[in-house]
Structure 1
Amino acid sequence: MGKIRIVTDSTADIPAELREKHGITMISLKVLFGEEVYSDAVDLTPEEFYARLKTSPVMPTTSQPSPADFVEVYESLLQEDPEGPILSFHLASVLSGTYQAATIAKSMLEEAGEHIHVIDSCSASYGHGMQVVLAAEMAEAGASVEDILAAVAKRKESCQIYFLVDTLDYLQKGGRIGKAAAMIGSLLNIKPILSLEPSGAVTSVDKARGSKKAMAKIVELLKNHFGNQAVGLIVAGTDDEVIRDELEARVKAELNVKEVSYTTVGTVIGTHTGPGTSAVFLYKV
């Protein structure tokens, strides 16, 4: 068996330096401002995106890669090493057709496709990204495909994800909530606490009046789940470092955090959550 290669898409929100360090191949989704098309994490940085999002009269939209995009990447990797397995991790299939496009590409490659394993992360942002990085680290250490997939499944099962959005407007514009609910929520300064179901679908688990009460609720939810177990923490933000840093400090003060890393909520996920979003991803260590 050849070397295991890791493929993912840009919604994993893996920092560029980590992708380069582990040799992770990334396929970008697209972000569109009207007729202008950008490749996520390639020619539109999160900083540029969030600055534009606040002022643009046109709401951005997103689009997934095509099966042909995946075929091109898979063929390139298979030419380098025809026997090397490819583990291809993608945004939850309930949120995007990206996983389906990868699956179609695998079938188009016929016998060569037997070396490709397409995995539905059932997650988004770094809930997805942490699975990819873990797989890459294990592949570098010489683990088998079976051991990698088992470890990823275990990490996914232990992970708890909470998003705190600054405004309900982008959820409403994306069809996640109704216009009336968004208007009332904005008037009352309601901050919804979002999470992901096991399938990866976005769900509202609670809400609070104001950011501080919402952060306190997130910490309470995490304490109820993990107790004093040792956990790893990934902190993700957009353009509001104050909220992100306070959320991190509250989690570290109340839970048994053993390792911390950071990322930025990328342009595709940010299209649907908006600026001012912060998130925490916790998992057992």
Structure 2
Amino acid sequence: MGRVKIVTDSTADIPKDLVKKYDITVVPLKVAIGNETFQDGVNLTTEAFYQKIESSEELPSTSQPTPYEFETVYRRIAENEADEVTILSIHLSSQLSGTMQSATLAAEEVKDAVHVDVVDSKRASYAIGIIVVEIAKLAQDGADVKACKERLNTLLEETKVYFLVNTLEYLQKNGRIGKASALFGTLLKVKPVLSLSEDGQVYPYFKARGRKKALAAIREAVNEQYGSKPVHIGICHANALESGEELLEKTTSSLQVESTTITEIGAVIGSHVGPESVAVTVMPAK
């Protein structure tokens, strides 16, 4: 059935060493700040991004790759492979971006050259990345497309993400607020725990009075869902490493953790959640 190659987009926020180690192809989205436009993770680092938005009066805006950009990537992969190849292209929730649409259109254009399965992760940031890395490991170990897709479908069902934002302003002004819009008017002293619904929209999981109760709510949720099962943990943060480490410590101390990854929320997702946001993703191990 040939090799399996993994493609994702820059919103997966996968650390560069893991991208290289597991041969993952990352297609960048774009970020506009004032009159400047950048490719996420290519000519704009996360550090530079957060510095820029601190000094900018305008909120940043984002845009998805074009179908042609995806087509170029797919054809390059096919041309570089001596043997038959299948591409699994795993992307940001279609409820949050048009990236899926661009990838789907491109997959149709290249069907004469290579088979591409485009997958809506219904997730964002390292909630995508942690799954992509796991499937890339399988592919690198020689798993065929059937095995990769079976594992992918399981992980998409069983991996959960919870996140805290410092303000809902970024989500609201960028139109990604989803079902969390119900929180407006109730945010005095409330620290909402947000998550992503089954269809990939942002929704309020829990309305906590203060950060301590928010962390307790996340801990209770992951303990109830995973108990003593072995898990992998992904922590991502928007220029807030200490908060990310606190989230890891406070919410997963009673879990059977096989591995942890701490990564930064990149410019695209950072444009929508804002500085100081943190998230924890819990993925079952085999």
Normalising by the smaller structure, the TM-score range is over 0.9
Alignment-derived partner of residue 207 in structure 2: 207
Q: Report the CA distance shift for 1:130/1:55 in structure 2 as closer, same or farther (over 3 A).
A: same
- Native 8 Å contact 1:161 1:195 kept in 2: yes
Q: Does 1:79 align with 2:51?
A: no
Where in structure 2 are the equivalents of 1:1-285 lying within 5 Å?
1-81=1-81, 83-113=84-114, 115-175=115-175, 176=177, 182=184, 185=187, 188-285=188-285
Shift in Å, 1:101 = 0.7
- Native 8 Å contact 1:7 1:86 kept in 2: yes
Shift in Å, 1:118 = 1.3
Distance between the aligned counterparts of 2:253 and 2:143, measured in 1?
A: 35
Q: Which runs of 5+ in 2 are unaligned?
A: none
Shift in Å, 1:152 = 1.1
Distance between the aligned counterparts of 1:4 and 1:253, measured in 2?
A: 36
Identity of aligned residues (%): 41
Shift in Å, 1:119 = 1.4
Instruction: State the TM-score, normalized to the length of structure 2.
Output: 0.92
Q: Report the CA distance shift for 1:105/1:250 in structure 2 as closer, same or farther (over 3 A).
A: same
- Native 8 Å contact 2:216 2:251 kept in 1: no
Shift in Å, 1:65 = 0.4
- Native 8 Å contact 2:240 2:277 kept in 1: yes
Once the two structures are superposed, residues 5-27 of structure 1 have per-residue CA deviations (whole angstroms, 9 ceiling, x without a partner) of 21111011111111111111111
Instruction: Count residues with an aligned counterpart.
Output: 282
- Native 8 Å contact 2:233 2:259 kept in 1: yes
Q: Which runs of 4+ in 1 moved over 6 A?
A: 177-180
- Native 8 Å contact 1:230 1:257 kept in 2: yes
Shift in Å, 1:189 = 3.0
Q: Structure 2: which amino acid aligns with 1:61?
A: S
Once the two structures are superposed, residues 37-60 of structure 1 have per-residue CA deviations (whole angstroms, 9 ceiling, x without a partner) of 010011111112122223310110
Matched residue SS, 2:261: strand
Matched residue SS, 2:154: helix
Instruction: State the TM-score, normalized to the length of structure 1.
Output: 0.93
- Native 8 Å contact 1:41 1:267 kept in 2: yes
Q: Which runs of 5+ in 1 are unaligned?
A: none
Q: Is the helix fraction higher in 1 or 2?
A: 1
Q: Structure 2: which amino acid aligns with 1:89?
A: I
Distance between the aligned counterparts of 1:108 and 1:135, measured in 2?
A: 25
Q: Structure 2: which amino acid aligns with 1:6?
A: I
Once the two structures are superposed, residues 156-193 of structure 1 have per-residue CA deviations (whole angstroms, 9 ceiling, x without a partner) of 211110011112221222232799955752xx232111
- Native 8 Å contact 2:219 2:252 kept in 1: no
- Native 8 Å contact 1:169 1:182 kept in 2: no
